[in-house]
Amino acid sequence: SSMAKSTSDIVVPVHSAHRLDEGRLLSYLQANVKGFLHPPAFFQLFQFGHGQSNPTYLVQVELHGTVQRYVLRKKPPGHILQSAHAVEREYLILSALGEGKTNVPVPRVYCLCTDSTVIGTPFYVMEHLEGRLFVNPTLPDVDPKERRAIYVAMARVLAAIHSVDVDAIGLGQYGRKENYCKRQIERWAAQYHLSTGEGKLDPDPNMMELIQWLRENIPSEDGYPGSRTGIVHGDFRLDNLIFHPTENRVIGVLDWELSTLGNQMSDAAYNCVPYVINNNQSPAKGFGFDEPLTEGIPTLQEYLAEYCSATGVPWPADTWNFYTALSLFRSAAIYAGVYLRMLQGNASGGQRAEVAGKMALFFAAVALRLVKQGPMLQSLPPHSAPESSGAESSHHKSLGFSPSARVQKLRERLLLFMEKHIYPSEKELSDLMYSSNDRWTIHPTEERLKKLAKSEGLWNLWIPADSAALASNLLSEDEKVSRSKDAADRLVGAGLSNLEYAHLCEILGRSMWAPQMFNCNAPDTGNMEVLLRYGNPEQQRQWLKPLLEGKIRSGFAMTEPNVASSDATNIECSIVREAEEYVINGHKWWTSGAMDPRCQLLIVMGKTNPNAALHKQQSMVLVDIKTPGIKIVRPLLVFGFDDAPHGHAEIKFENVRVPISNLLLGEGRGFEIAQGRLGPGRLHHCMRLVGAAERGMDLMVKRANQRKAFGKTLAQHGSFAQMLAQSRLDIEQTRLLVLNAAHQLDLYGNKVAKGAIAMAKVAAPSTTLRVLDNAIQVHGGAGVSSDFPLSHLWASARTLRLADGPDEVHLGTIAKLELQRVAKL
């Protein structure tokens, strides 16, 4: 029956072909399994019947009423090529994941025996887990109310596997991380070709077309070992999970035979195949793509949203068809292989071989139909992830906001870098800024720390996962001699989501001097993002490459002194085409970074067509800062700080001529670009503001503990405790708003996340200003001086109530959404 089975119910007597020398085994176990009953009164072997390619046995021993059960897994007898080391690898990964080292539940392992003389092949012994096994993904005999919880548990376990920091548990070399899908396609295509030809299967034209399509549609993230790469289980399905005997949680993930490192989205897609093909034993029933599984089970979109939310992975709307097709293709290739083996192996396999042959055709046909239709996923996930039922929801503690182990590690490295290199350099860097002679030159410490940050893999961490592959290719192209792919990869960050980056960007905000050391400073990050998303290959080679390397700096020239620039439709600068050139005339100010001697590029916004529709008038062009006609009028001061050598420039453009190839994206598309630029950029400011507030807290508390007034330390005065507590509250609330906005941006994109982003953008500057103001108060005169970083941090935070959209504009957005929401009630 398809009932949930107890794991001990599914054993059968040992098949004759799988018998082994029980005497030798027993003495081996007594010597090598800690706590093994010694000598047992009874010793018995059974075999698990449920679809094991590696023969798997239940070892049962008894003594005086005590029963012990173990599971033994060995290689199949005879010579098997593909899975040559499968048993050793399984043992390796189970021991690496187990015993509390990760959140992945796995059976405990006791010993690995590589000596084939004991029972004929290598084997290992693991704990026998007592629990439930659900063989049928439609859960026919489970109460519909329980089904959702079972699926939610499955999604969370997959997320736990995918969140493992492989380096931390010594599995960094368990497989190659990049080009996983590419290698899968080639491996299974080769397998498939071996199964076809004279006296074998006829080559299936669908398969040929499918292979071609897959080759041409590999998602760019596959080529880059970012944060979406890590452990891939390889055969993650419901019937490889042991559930607790009564609770709907997973106590063990089994069958790691195909596990490796690679592209984890392929694992998620394989897990979702039951949504595409209902019952993979019956091609006739078949194509269940639009059918719900059964009552209570989340839909594909809901299930995937649960997984994405638990891992912090952006919604894979554009790539899902590929990953699903790849899973089906792999199955088709496996069925073709089974067909051939059965046909060649023994005559009695004839009928089952027939079925396998049909399945190969069926899976290929379904895959091909899938890739020819539109995207399987909606462009956005269902808005709320499925609720978990019953007790689950009450301790649904994490909002998914705690950093993964991998991000945690980067965070620790960054914190250390700040302590060791940034804080101790602040004084010399500020001194240069306050000096009259050299203020517009680059301090050698800055270039030294940049190099160090690069070598420690703390460079360009802001680059989002989807752009990282592109950037990596750009940096490694035609430089095979001077730079390896590895070195290029180290330059393109860690392939993080916005949420993941939030945990790191915050730390950079603790010092005015930190972001540029890691190539994570505005406006260069926003400009690089623009070039990554909208630049053509030539523009990318010329400007993006040196920016990614940190060799040049750039400015973003939008704001103008003569018009209210928070409304960008007001921008007046004119960009007029004359033959093969654009001629630029305008007056800009607050072009940050333009004073820097390394600045070579300005992205200039202006009107190419004042008569077009309001949001189609503006365009953006790339302008070399050395172009004749550009006049830097003066550096502007922010409450007296000029932020040298970076600087904020007032600039005049008088008949500045650039080639038409310097236009970004197209005429009239300036607004579109500005929108793309501003979402993540705004949030980066908010993240850094939270960090600035934390710095204020640290300094405030240190000072209050040291300094005495009226007979006690400042900290011992009652007013301080209140101030401190209130500041902590403010920071925590703001951080949650910022993390939530980042998470929404990852999951739903700019448009849906705009309310959350607006809230973060209003809350962050005002919280930080309040906290820094408190810190300044505690420091007294020292607080407003240039001996502490507080005044500079405060001045900078204050500008963010008006820069990147003034508070009033964001409050307007929040209010509008609220009115719309209530109107719908």
Nearest CA-CA partner of 767 in 572, 506, 567, 555: 506
248 binds ligand FAD (CB under 6 A): no
Minimum CB distance to ligand FAD, residue 638 (Å): 5
CA distances to 267, 286, 311 from 395, rounded to whole Å, are: 27, 39, 18
- For residue 676, the minimal CB distance to ligand FAD (Å) is 16
Residue with Cβ nearer ligand FAD (226 or 680): 680
Q: How far, CA to CA in Å, does 432 sit from each of 277, 441, 558, 595, 794? A: 67, 8, 29, 15, 20
412 binds ligand FAD, rule: CB under 6 A: no
> Which class for 356: exposed (0-12), middle (13-18), buried (19 or more C-beta within 10 A)?
buried
How far is residue 380 CA from its own chain's centroid? 17
DSSP H or E segment with residue 807: helix 807-823
Q: Which is nearer to ligand FAD, 591 or 744 (CB)?
A: 591
Only one residue has tokens 């301080």, namely 720
Range in contact with ligand FAD (rule: CB under 6 A) among 68-76, 394-402, 801-809, 816-824: 801-809
By C-beta, is 483 or 798 nearer to ligand FAD?
A: 798
Kindly state whether residue 802 participates in binding ligand FAD, applying the rule CB under 6 A: yes
Using the rule CB under 6 A, is 809 a contact of ligand FAD? yes
Q: Say if residues 526 and 683 touch (Cβ distance below 8 Å).
A: no
Closer residue to ligand FAD (CB): 223 or 586: 586
Among 54, 799, 813, 814, binds ligand FAD (CB under 6 A): 799
Stretch near ligand FAD under the rule CB under 6 A, chosen from 396-404, 576-584, 744-752, 805-813:
805-813
Instruction: Please say which residue, 40 or 805, places its beta carbon nearer to ligand FAD.
Output: 805
CB 495 within 8 A of CB 226: yes
Least distance in angstroms from the C-beta of 673 to ligand FAD: 13
Would you say 619 and 606 are in contact if contact means Cβ atoms under 8 Å apart?
Answer: yes
Touching ligand FAD, residues 73-132 (CB under 6 A): none
| Token pair in block for residue 185 | 């396609």
Task: Choose between 31 and 802: whose C-beta lies nearer to ligand FAD.
Answer: 802
Q: What is the DSSP letter of 13?
A: P
Termini Cα distance of the chain: 48
51 burial type by CB count under 10 A (0-12 exposed, 13-18 middle, 19+ buried): exposed
**Binders of ligand FAD in range 433-492 (CB under 6 A):** none
Decide whether 464 or 586 has the Cβ nearer to ligand FAD.
586
Is 648 a binder of ligand FAD (CB under 6 A)?
yes
CA distance 167 to 128: 28
Residues within window 523-542 making contact with ligand FAD, judged by CB under 6 A: 523
Q: Name residues contacting ligand FAD, limited to 543-602 (CB under 6 A).
A: 556-559, 564-566, 590-592
Q: Provide DSSP, 376-392.
A: SS-SS--SSPPPPPTHH
Establish if 808 lies at the interface with ligand FAD (CB under 6 A). Answer: yes
Nearer to ligand FAD, 634 or 702 (CB): 634
Backbone angles phi and psi of 52, in degrees to 5: -100, 130
Rounded to an integer, what distance in angstroms lies between the CA atom of residue 199 and that of residue 103? 49
Residue 434 CB, shortest distance to ligand FAD, in Å, is 18
Residue 458 or 651: which CB sits closer to ligand FAD?
Answer: 651
Q: Specify the residue, 459 or 556, whose C-beta has the smaller distance to ligand FAD.
A: 556
What residues numbered 35-74 form the site for ligand FAD, per CB under 6 A?
none
Residue 632 sits in the site that holds ligand FAD (CB under 6 A): no
DSSP bridge partners of 554: 601
Judged by CB under 6 A, the number of residues near ligand FAD is 21
Least separation in angstroms between CB 811 and ligand FAD: 8
Nearest in space to 158 (alpha carbons), one of 245, 240, 279: 240
Minimum Å gap between C-beta 255 and ligand FAD is 55
Residues that bind ligand FAD (CB under 6 A): 523, 556-559, 564-566, 590-592, 638, 648, 799, 802-804, 806, 808-809, 812
